Structure formats: structure tokens, C-alpha cells
Structure 1
Amino acid sequence: MKKLSILVFAICLALTSCKEGGSTKEDFTPSSIGQVNSLTVVMSNELWEGKVGDNVRDHFAASVVGIAWNEPIFTLRHLPETVFTGAVRKSRSVLVVQKKDTTNMSYINSNMYARPQNVAVVVGSTEEGIIETLNKQADHIISEFNKTDLKVTQGNFKRSLNKETDIQDKFGVKMDIPSVYNVGKSEDNFVWLDRSIKNGTMNLIVYALPWDSFSNDATFISDIVRKRDSIGKKYIPGPNEGTYMDTEKAFAPSVYPAEIGGKKAAEVRGRWEIYNYSMAGPYVSYIINDKENNRKLVVEGFTFAPAAVKRDFMFELEAIVKTLRFVPKTAE
């Protein structure tokens, strides 16, 4: 009996040691590299310089919605397969396009050479087949690349977070907001945080609207503009007397379904301007269906950065909003 107990103990000890001291592939996978919104495209020079390359650029370097200048969704870097070795294999987002005598197909491998990483592979026997597959799968591939970039960006926020509680106090929500943002205005139904950037600012605002603010689908977009303009006029003054933020009328906002904090929401992308003053820029607004509190909660990010690339600024603001979670208010 004693020998049996010793044997069982020895087996348990061995299993524990293997579990704790054993190594997995994950332990040795290096960290991925590259800026967010960048994409390494691996394909032959022949494909890159022809209609397949044009199709890749049409999808993956399309202009970001809501930004006046043509800023691409991804900054593309092309490499032929023979050069895709060494450190470049650690790129976070990789698209491999190959022409082979095989069935048209596409798939995404996670963490092949680094972590986190997505390697999307599109294969076809003809250029037409490759293009057909890209047309079908590009949106899904872009979404997966964006999800990973968002997670990386949100992870970076945690290094130093803003500790101010105005948003939680007033609205019962929290977000992972970097400490470089500071509350500049805090009123009963409005909080405004901003951070300075070169020659401009990045801004985050939160406010609530009545639950029935958007009761008519036919007038949804015009109602969004009207409500947004009323908030801008009340809370966001321009540099001169009589000036304030409103929505640029020449640029119709684009609306997409979204989910924020576990609740259904509308994502609105467009351009703001200052009434009677030459200032403008992009915004992304999330209108969250908060039925439990009988309200529409609005969280918006907007950027003022003349003559600067705004894509990555707007991506950071989107990443902040998508950390939102509902929590008890700390004050009434």
C-alpha cells in the first residue's frame, strides 16, 4: 500500500512538472512586428504588377470612410515570396497570394511565425480565379486584420490609463483611455476629453439622448445630423464668438451596424466642421441602444489635424470606444 502511494505521488509529480515546466510552441513564438494598419503582401512581381495586384489594392488600400483625403485602409508593402524570410515573417498582418494548379481557395492561419499574427492565403489556378476569391473574401480578411490591430492597440493603452472618473460618475460606463487624454469639460450630460498632437487635437465626447430620439428609420441619418449639431452648438464652441462644431453638410455620414459594451449600436462616420470658420476633420460616432437606462448613449471621437494623416488617429479613438463596458455609477 505504501509503495502504491509513493507511485501515485511520483506520477502526479511528473505530470505537474511537465505541465509547469514543459514548453509549448507558444512559449517560443516571437512577438509580431509592424505598425497598426500596415499589411505585408506576399506575391510574385508578375501578379503584383498586373490585374491581381490592382484588385488587392482596390480592396486593401481603399480609402478610409470619413476622411477627406485618400488615406488607405492599410499601408501596403509588397514582397516576392523569395524575400519573405527572416524578420519580415513576423509582420502582424500578412496576405499571401499565389497562382497554383489547384482549386481556388482562401484561409487564414493565426500565429504562424509570430504572435499575434494573421496570415491570409489566397490561392487560385488563374488570375481570374484569384480575383474572384479576393472579391468574396476581402471584407472578412480585412475584418480579421482589424480585430488583431485593435487588440494590440487596446493592450498598449493599459500601460498608462487615465484615472479620471467623470464618465463613470455621469453615465455608468468605463473605457480604457490612455493617460495622455484629459477631461477638458464635464457637465450634467456631457464629458469631453482631449489630447494634444502636433498642430492639433484628438477628442472624445460622451453624452446621452432620450431613448426615442431616432424613432423613424426613414429620417435616421437626418436625425443623427440634427442631434449631433445641437450638441455641438451647446457644448463645442469654435475659436470665435458665434462659431461651433456641426456636421459638414457636403459629406453625407455613413452608418454601419455595431456592438459596443454588449449592446447593439450604430457606427456613424463622417466629417465635422466649425460653423462660420475654416476648420474641419473626421469623426466616428457610436449610438448605443441602452434600453436598461432608457437612453441612447453616444460616444464619439473626432480629430483636428490639418495637413496630417488622420487614419491612425481615428483608429485609436475607435479602439478606445470599443473598450467600453457598463458599470455602476460612482456618483449621482
Structure 2
Amino acid sequence: MEQPEECSRPQVWNEIENLPQLKRSSAALILIAFLLFVGCQSAKEGESSKPSKSEQTKILPSSTGARCEVILVCTEKVWNSRALNPLKNELLRPQPGLPQPEPYFSIMRVDPANFKNVIQRNKAIIVVEESDTARFRWFRNLYAKPQNVALITYTTFQDIYNLTARHRREIFEKFRAQDLKSTRLTLLKSGAKWQDATKNQKLKILMPPGYSRVVHKDNFSMYFAQSAKTHHVIMVHTRPWDPDGELPDEWKIIEIRDSLTILHTQASRPGSYTVVDTTIRPLSRTYNLNGRLTTEMRGLFKSVNDFLGGPFYTLVLFDEDRKLMVFIDAFMQAVGQNKRNMLMEMEVIARSIDLK
């Protein structure tokens, strides 16, 4: 049988065999270490030649866009038709609890030919375009991040009407949740810090720069911020609550709120204070917020013995483990100013309350 041809050994091995035993062992170890080093370097060079995941993934710019702003990409003919009525009625309906009418969202129409460059980086976009199929789809981080893009394709205007009627609430909720999240991130980037909300409970609240704590008691704290044209107040209050009892209704919550503002607030005139304006009934709802039963209320307050007033936003969280009711209230005065975006920021502060 033919023997396999013997491979010639590298000259370096022949030289090692001719060395004395001790020197031979040392030289062999040095050679092995050298070969391992060269092999590792070759492997590293091979790895570096492959594109990394970050290189393979397109790097998206940061999204832009004002709070509560939506870009709607469609032709003028579509915009002026009735096909978009369900969507417009949903996004442009007045936000409750404001002294003057302001819609939940501001819509900016963009012609498809102009939908490019920086406009594509808006965080909330709806694209309505003609196609051979009628369909509704979501795209995440399509042109920038974070970003939500809703694509509506249609063959007839009736398709637009049907799709927007079917998905209008979904669009509203997704864009509003996105605004709340981006507002919180903006507060954190601006230097907002976690603070003890009250003395006797382990409660934390995210407070942005500009707010000063003017009252800090066992079960009550008040924060105040002002500018040349606005005044902002946030109150945190705790009181015992029996989980086996009934939840306080909206009138009981108003009673609690009024008891706090009568004691701790004063308008511009001596002897004045603020209370809920019940001539316009506040809107309230009870739901689950971050795993806790919560009552939310929006309405207007007024000043007794004065003429000032404005919107308020109240959260009441029920902690079954500690048998505690946590009351967070945010209200503001901003004469002659649009208040929607400012109140959303205060809502985000109130929602940041941490009961852990």
C-alpha cells in the first residue's frame, strides 16, 4: 500500500530538536505562545473585516416635532374631502378641562411632493396615499427614532373614511402615549430629579428644574414654579384608605382638593383662595395606572374673592398594601396663553409618582 507522503516540517522544529533538553522545552513553549498570538491576531483581523451589527443597521436621526403635533401627508383633494372626517373629529376634538377650546392635537398637512428631508423626521406621521389595495399599517422608526408612522392606502375615498373610522381611536391613543413618553424624556434631559414627595411615606416624584418645594410635611408637599406669565403648582397628599370600603366619588375628591387649596393657596388679593369651579362639571374616570387603581379628574378652578382661575389635573392612586390614598394635583394660571402643552407636562409630573 502506498504510504502517504510525509509533509516536510518547518525548519524551526528541526533546530529545536538539536537543542539540549531544558533549552528545547523552553524554546518549544516560546514557539507555541508565538503561534497562539499570531493565530489570535489573525482571528481578530478576520472579525474586524466583518461589518458590525451597528454598521449593518441604518443609523436613524432623532425625531423632531412639537408636543401634540401630527404630520398628515395627503393631497389637497383628500384633505378637503369628507373622507378624513372621522380622523379629524378624533384628533381635533377639544381637550376637556381647559378654559378656552384647544384640540388634543394640532394637524399640519403636507403635500406628498414635499414630504422629504426634515419633515420625514417628525415623531408622529400619518400618510394617506392611493394604491391598488385598501389597508392600514403601522411603521415604527421608519425615518427617525422614536417615531410612529401610520400608513393608509386606498382605492376610493370611501376606503379612507372606513379605515380612519375603524382606527381613529387607535391612532389617538398611540400618538398621545408617545407624547406623554417623549415629554417625560424631555424632562429627564432637562435635569429633572427624583424627590421625596412627603416625609412619612416612601413616595418619589420626578420634579423638573424651576420647581421649588414650598411646603413639606408628613402627609403633604407643595411645589411651585413661575415665569413672567405663568404660575404652576403641584400638590402631593396622602391619607388612610380602607380597601374594603367604597372608592371616593368625584364630589369627595373635589372636597379633598378644596380643603387643601383653601389652606395652602392664596390668589393675588388678601383673603382669596382657590376651589374647583363646579359650574362646569369636572370629568373623571377610574382605571388601572401602572398596576394600581386610579381615579383621574380634569376640570377648572376659580379664585374666591379674586378673578383668577385655570385648569387642574388630579390623580388619586389607591395603595391596597399600605391602605393609603395618594392624591396628586397639578394646576396652573397662564393668562392669555395656550395651556394644552403646559398642562401635559404637569400631567407627566403627576403620573411620575412612584409608590414603591
Same fold by TM-score greater than 0.5:
yes
Alignment correspondent of 1:194: 224
Question: For residue 176 of structure 2, what is the amino acid of its counterpart?
Answer: N
Distance 1:164 1:134, change over 3 A: closer
Distance 1:284 1:216, change over 3 A: same
Alignment correspondent of 2:177: 147
Counterparts of 2:285 and 2:35 in 1: how far apart (Å)?
65
Counterparts of 1:34 and 1:245 in 2: how far apart (Å)?
35
Moved more, 298-307 or 195-204: 195-204
Alignment correspondent of 1:250: 279
Alignment correspondent of 2:350: 321
Deviations 1:4-30 (A, max 9, x none): 988995797479758994425655101
What do you get for the CA RMSD once the two structures are aligned? Answer: 3.0
Q: Percent identity?
A: 22
Question: Equivalent residue of 2:98, what SS?
Answer: coil
Distance 1:180 1:3, change over 3 A: same
Matches within 5 A, 1:244-323: 244-260=273-289, 262-323=291-352
Matches within 5 A, 1:10-29: 13=44, 17=48, 21-24=52-55, 28-29=59-60
**Is 1:39 the counterpart of 2:70 in the alignment?**
yes
Query: Which has the larger Rg?
Result: 2
Task: Please state how far the C-alpha of 1:215 moved relative to its aligned partner.
Answer: 4.8
Moved more, 234-243 or 90-99: 234-243
Counterpart contact for 1:106–1:133, Cα < 8 Å: yes
Distance 1:212 1:20, change over 3 A: farther
Moved more, 191-200 or 8-17: 8-17
Question: For residue 206 of structure 1, what is the amino acid of its counterpart?
Answer: V
Counterparts of 2:245 and 2:282 in 1: how far apart (Å)?
18
Moved more, 225-234 or 280-289: 225-234
Alignment correspondent of 2:109: 78
Distance 1:62 1:191, change over 3 A: same
Question: For residue 328 of structure 2, what is the amino acid of its counterpart?
Answer: V
Counterparts of 1:19 and 1:242 in 2: how far apart (Å)?
74
Counterpart contact for 1:41–1:78, Cα < 8 Å: yes
Question: Equivalent residue of 1:227, what SS?
Answer: helix
Deviations 1:272-327 (A, max 9, x none): 11123211111111111111221110112111101100001111111222333234
Q: 2:206 aligns with which of 168, 176, 196?
A: 176
Question: Equivalent residue of 1:150, what SS?
Answer: helix
Counterparts of 1:72 and 1:18 in 2: how far apart (Å)?
54
Task: Please state how far the C-alpha of 1:204 moved relative to its aligned partner.
Answer: 1.3
Distance 1:7 1:59, change over 3 A: farther
Counterparts of 2:162 and 2:286 in 1: how far apart (Å)?
26
Moved more, 260-269 or 70-79: 260-269
Alignment correspondent of 2:162: 132
Counterpart contact for 1:162–1:182, Cα < 8 Å: no
Distance 1:144 1:18, change over 3 A: farther
Distance 1:234 1:99, change over 3 A: same
Counterparts of 2:101 and 2:324 in 1: how far apart (Å)?
36
Question: For residue 236 of structure 1, what is the amino acid of its counterpart?
Answer: T
Question: Equivalent residue of 1:175, what SS?
Answer: strand
Counterparts of 2:195 and 2:147 in 1: how far apart (Å)?
35
Alignment correspondent of 2:258: 229
Counterpart contact for 1:161–1:176, Cα < 8 Å: no
Counterpart contact for 2:193–2:208, Cα < 8 Å: no
Question: Equivalent residue of 1:319, what SS?
Answer: helix
Matched residue count: 325
Task: Please state how far the C-alpha of 1:149 moved relative to its aligned partner.
Answer: 2.1
Counterparts of 1:164 and 1:90 in 2: how far apart (Å)?
31
Deviations 1:145-171 (A, max 9, x none): 122222222122223445584415343
Using CA pairs below 8 Å that are at least 6 residues apart, which structure has the higher relative contact order?
1
Distance 1:13 1:117, change over 3 A: same
Question: For residue 97 of structure 2, what is the amino acid of its counterpart?
Answer: G
> Which consecutive residues of structure 1, in runs of 5 or more, have no partner in the other structure?
328-332
Distance 1:214 1:186, change over 3 A: farther
Distance 1:275 1:14, change over 3 A: farther
> Which consecutive residues of structure 2, in runs of 5 or more, have no partner in the other structure?
1-31
Counterpart contact for 1:164–1:183, Cα < 8 Å: no
Moved more, 166-175 or 92-101: 166-175
Distance 1:259 1:193, change over 3 A: farther
Alignment correspondent of 2:187: 157
